[in-house]
A and B are shown apart, each in its own frame.
Chain A
Amino acid sequence: IAGITQAPTSQILAAGRRMTLRCTQDMRHNAMYWYRQDLGLGLRLIHYSNTAGTTGKGEVPDGYSVSRANTDDFPLTLASAVPSQTSVYFCASKNGQSSGELFFGEGSRLTVL
């Protein structure tokens, strides 16, 4: 089934630990995004990639890093997790920077204690 797969679905993590959230899409979309969603706030862009080999910073990039070695994969790494990074993380993709519809993964719920 075509779409975006995120892993893990849920994770509890001790503060200070390193964590990588995985995201893979099989739609051959050029553009990929990482958002966090917190209660009462809109989706906030962490990092994005318009095409393989390039990445950019979004609204809330501090404490996070990404890589885009190929079209399909866009992992998000928390180098040293802090409690304020407790959130639901969504990976998304679309076919071209200027196109409309975003396709989302099912989300990764991360709790940092």
Chain B
Amino acid sequence: GQNIDQPTEMTATEGAIVQINCTYQTSGFNGLFWYQQHAGEAPTFLSYNVLDGLEEKGRFSSFLSRSKGYSYLLLKELQMKDSASYLCAGMDSNYQLIWGAGTKLIIKP
């Protein structure tokens, strides 16, 4: 079956670094996505990885290991506005996204 696993909730301190992990099982693989969703709002795209390695975009980085079926999202210099849910999604062989339930990130001052 297809499955995406990520932690339900994480807490971190403003200014710190946090890593949100995601493991995936999909029928075929066409990439791994991370989206950010603030409470009551729509998800917005953060990153896409299809090759192994680290992709850096400002304070946010995303890593992929295809052999391990594993990805992580790294958030540096945390700000209060980073409090949100972070959704991991794998794209299967039919180009459909399989979504994790999301990780709610709580930032404390």
Contact between chains at B42 and A97 (CB < 8 Å): no
Inter-chain CA distance A41–B94, complex, in Å, is 21
Q: How many residues of B contact A (CB 8 A)?
A: 22
Does more than half of chain A's interface fall in helix, strand or loop, or is it mixed? loop
* Chain A positions within 8 Å of B96 at CB level: 45, 48, 58
Band of interface residues on A: 10 to 19
Q: Which residue of the partner chain, among A42, A90, A101, contacts B100 with CB atoms under 8 Å?
A: A42
Contact between chains at A106 and B99 (CB < 8 Å): no
A53 at the interface (CB under 8 A from B): no
Q: What is the minimal beta-carbon distance from A97 to any residue of chain B, in angstroms?
A: 5
Across the two chains, which residue of chain B brings its CB closest to A109? B40
Whether A42 contacts B30 in the complex (CB less than 8 A), given A106-B41, A106-B42, comes out as no
A104 at the interface (CB under 8 A from B): yes
List residues of B whose CB falls within 8 A of some A CB: 4, 30-31, 33, 35, 41-45, 48, 87, 89, 91, 95-102
List residues of A whose CB falls within 8 A of some B CB: 40-45, 48, 58, 90, 97-98, 100-107
